[in-house]
């Protein structure tokens, strides 16, 4: 790890241009990690990296610092060849999206990630599957190199950790909480951060709470299934966390499945559990993810996907 970080710093120092990207449809960790690292590189080496994304940035991230630094891939010159491309939090190569040409032509690729991934793209990999967020790994790199930082960096890293741990619910060890403590001691105000992230459009909350109110409950109430019809899909902010959180707050509900009709015969599935593993269900649907938070995109109708999910759970919950 230490040697890898040393090499990483050498690559930053010698690069004439740098691009940073996360995964398509960035979540809080992906988005905030990209901006935090970009700011760290500018502060410490005087070079501002090109930050790229594909898909949609959820509106709840609008209040995060440095929004203007990140550009949709179509607004970036994809023919530019970068000395260094840094991939953050990307999971698997299929999540790269429209900025792929930048990755393909890169002179050197560094990846920093906490996802399990059998198809790594990095020439140099600074991965840590035990980390709660990519933002946590960045914090540890920052401290180990001794990079100077500012309030934007700290707020972004804190937001990355808060969002990827589901407001600390998914924390598995004390390391990330100690880091959070250091962030707070250095000026991060958690109340401001949580308020800044409570920033959803009204329509999204109305649509999502409607989906929660129409949910069905199966296997004695242990599995909740909610559906977002296609006409409402465009109003979702991010993955539909309001639905997932509402249903997950009901006594007796252990598993939550949210089905999103993205288009005809294409259904996005978000799965959450309140403790038991759920990623094997996502994998059976062709997707994947973490133990308690996983998902898939299935080329089938909402009804058929719903029935498949019920059958997959029937084996476990009968």
User: What residues line the site for Mn ion (CB under 5 A)?
Assistant: 29, 89, 134, 164
CB of 267 to Mn ion, least distance (A): 23
The three-state secondary structure class of 193 is helix
CB of 173 to Mn ion, least distance (A): 16
Nearer to Mn ion, 164 or 232 (CB): 164
Nearer to Mn ion, 132 or 247 (CB): 132
Nearer to Mn ion, 34 or 154 (CB): 34
CB of 140 to Mn ion, least distance (A): 14
Q: Which of 276, 232, 277 lies closest to 258, judged by CA?
A: 232
Nearer to Mn ion, 134 or 267 (CB): 134
160 vs 32, 80, 112, 155, CA distance in Å?
6, 29, 14, 9
CB of 245 to Mn ion, least distance (A): 18
Nearer to Mn ion, 91 or 248 (CB): 91
Sheet with 109-113, edge to edge strand ranges: 70-72, 50-53, 18-21, 84-88, 109-113, 124-127
CB of 26 to Mn ion, least distance (A): 10
Q: Which of 227, 154, 237 lies closest to 198, judged by CA?
A: 237
Rounded Cα gap, residues 140 and 138, in angstroms: 5
Label residues 161-192 b or e (16+ Cβ within 10 Å = b): bbbbbbeeeebeeeebeebbeebeeeebeeee
Shortest-Cβ-distance residue relative to Mn ion: 29
CB of 89 to Mn ion, least distance (A): 4
Q: Using an 8 Å Cβ cutoff, are 180 and 158 in contact?
A: yes
Nearer to Mn ion, 13 or 94 (CB): 94
């Amino acid at each position: 790890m230490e040697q890898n970080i040393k090499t990483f710093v050498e690559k930053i120092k010698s690069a004439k241009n740098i691009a940073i990207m996360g995964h398509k449809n960035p979540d809080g960790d992906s988005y905030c990690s990209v901006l935090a690292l970009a700011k760290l590189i500018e502060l410490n080496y005087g070079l501002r990296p090109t930050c790229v994304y594909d898909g949609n940035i959820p509106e709840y991230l609008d209040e995060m610092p440095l929004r203007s630094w990140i550009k949709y891939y179509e607004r970036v010159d994809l023919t530019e060849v970068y000395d260094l491309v840094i991939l953050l939090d990307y999971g698997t190569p299929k999540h790269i999206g429209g900025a792929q040409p930048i990755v393909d032509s890169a002179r050197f690729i560094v990846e920093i990630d906490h996802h399990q991934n059998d198809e790594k793209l990095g020439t140099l990999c600074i991965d840590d599957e035990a980390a709660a967020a990519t933002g946590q790994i960045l914090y540890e790199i920052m401290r180990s190199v001794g990079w100077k930082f500012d309030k934007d960096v700290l707020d972004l890293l804190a937001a990355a950790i808060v969002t990827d741990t589901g407001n600390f619910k998914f924390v598995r060890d004390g390391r990330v909480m100690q880091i959070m403590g250091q962030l707070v001691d250095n000026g991060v105000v958690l109340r401001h951060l949580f308020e800044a992230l409570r920033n959803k459009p009204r329509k999204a909350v109305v649509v999502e709470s409607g989906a929660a109110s129409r949910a069905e409950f199966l296997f004695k109430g242990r599995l909740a299934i909610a559906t977002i019809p296609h006409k409402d899909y465009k109003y979702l902010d991010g993955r539909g966390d309001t639905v997932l959180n509402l249903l997950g707050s009901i006594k007796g509900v252990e598993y939550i499945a949210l089905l999103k009709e993205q288009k005809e015969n294409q259904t996005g599935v978000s799965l959450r559990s309140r403790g038991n593993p759920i990623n094997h269900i996502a994998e059976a649907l062709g997707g994947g993810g973490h133990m308690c938070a996983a998902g898939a995109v299935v080329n089938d109708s909402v009804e058929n996907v719903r029935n498949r999910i019920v059958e997959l759970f029937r084996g476990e919950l009968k």
